[in-house]
């Protein structure tokens, strides 16, 4: 039987990685269609019909196509409420969303492929481009570690996985690719705990069909 969802993405895309984790946590089956980002396949006419931004991921499902990873994750959380990815308490929910925005709005976009290519086009060599990415991630992780300083439990915000963890784990994978020296004990402990969960293991970039 065909799966209910088709995830259009790329194995190393941290935004696609987030959605894979969310789908796995919800126990939802999905097919994958991959786009080689460095070859510009995401800017082909067919994909632009799904996502006019030409960015991954896009999630096609019974109700249509959704874009933007956090919007997709929140949609899944509303339609398939167990296990919940956001706290019920409004203040706690806002704090989780704020943490997610640090990663999805302030760290990730500044060190994604589009921006790095623009830096190369401006004449920066590869070492300078990688340095830009590392600095962006390090500054963001300093903020993330501070936001988690008063939190307890194995996950970002307590005893259960939340959208914050779904954002954090892929960003740490990005950090490792750029050679960031991890120096944030709370972040490291959370990621180590998440990486022991089946939903996160199945979502690992190197485990995806297009990683070969």
Q: Rg of the chain's alpha carbons, rounded to an integer?
A: 17
Name the residue ranges covered by the structural domains of the chain: 5-83, 90-199
pLDDT at 45 over 70: yes
Confidence class for position 113, pLDDT limits 50, 70, 90: confident
pLDDT at 86 over 70: yes
Please tell me the predicted confidence (pLDDT) of residue 114.
87
Backbone angles phi, psi at 39, to 5 degrees: -95, -5
Please tell me the predicted confidence (pLDDT) of residue 44.
94
The reported pTM is 0.95
Q: pLDDT tens-digit profile of 155-182?
A: 999 999 999 999 999 999 999 999 999 9
pLDDT at 153 over 50: yes
Confidence class for position 111, pLDDT limits 50, 70, 90: confident
Q: In what order do the strands lie in the sheet with 58-61?
A: 30-34, 5-9, 58-61, 64-67
| Residue with more model confidence, 111 or 108 | 108
pLDDT at 103 over 70: yes
- The CATH topology of domain 90-199 is Glutathione S-transferase Yfyf (Class Pi); Chain A, domain 2 (1.20.1050)
Cα distances (angstroms) measured from residue 34 to each of 2, 73, 155, 174, 212: 17, 19, 30, 19, 12
CATH number of 5-83: 3.40.30.10
pLDDT at 194 over 70: yes
Q: Which helix (H) or strand (E) holds 158?
A: none
pLDDT at 3 over 80: no
| Contact by Cβ (8 Å): 140, 102 | yes
90-199 has the same fold as 5-83: no
Please tell me the predicted confidence (pLDDT) of residue 1.
40
% of the chain at pLDDT higher than 90 = 94
Confidence class for position 2, pLDDT limits 50, 70, 90: low
pLDDT at 88 over 70: yes
């Amino acid at each position: 039987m065909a799966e209910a969802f088709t995830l259009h993405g790329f194995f190393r895309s941290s935004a696609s990685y987030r959605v894979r984790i969310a789908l796995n946590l919800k126990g939802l089956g999905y097919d994958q269609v991959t786009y080689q980002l460095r070859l510009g396949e995401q800017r082909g006419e067919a994909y632009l019909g799904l996502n006019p931004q030409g960015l991954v991921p896009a999630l096609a499902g019974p109700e249509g196509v959704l874009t933007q990873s956090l919007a997709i994750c929140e949609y899944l959380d509303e339609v398939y409420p167990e296990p919940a990815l956001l706290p019920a308490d409004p203040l706690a929910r806002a704090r989780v969303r704020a943490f997610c925005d640090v990663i999805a709005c302030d760290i990730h976009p500044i060190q994604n492929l589009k921006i790095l290519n623009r830096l190369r086009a401006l004449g920066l060599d590869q070492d300078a481009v990688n340095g830009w990415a590392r600095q962006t991630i390090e500054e963001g992780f300093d903020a993330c570690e501070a936001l988690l300083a008063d939190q307890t439990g194995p996950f970002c915000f307590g005893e259960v996985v939340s959208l914050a963890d779904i954002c954090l784990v892929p960003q740490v994978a990005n950090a490792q690719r750029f050679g960031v020296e991890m120096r944030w004990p709370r972040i490291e402990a959370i990621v180590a705990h998440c990486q022991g969960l089946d939903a996160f293991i199945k979502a690992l970039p190197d485990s995806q069909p297009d990683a070969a």
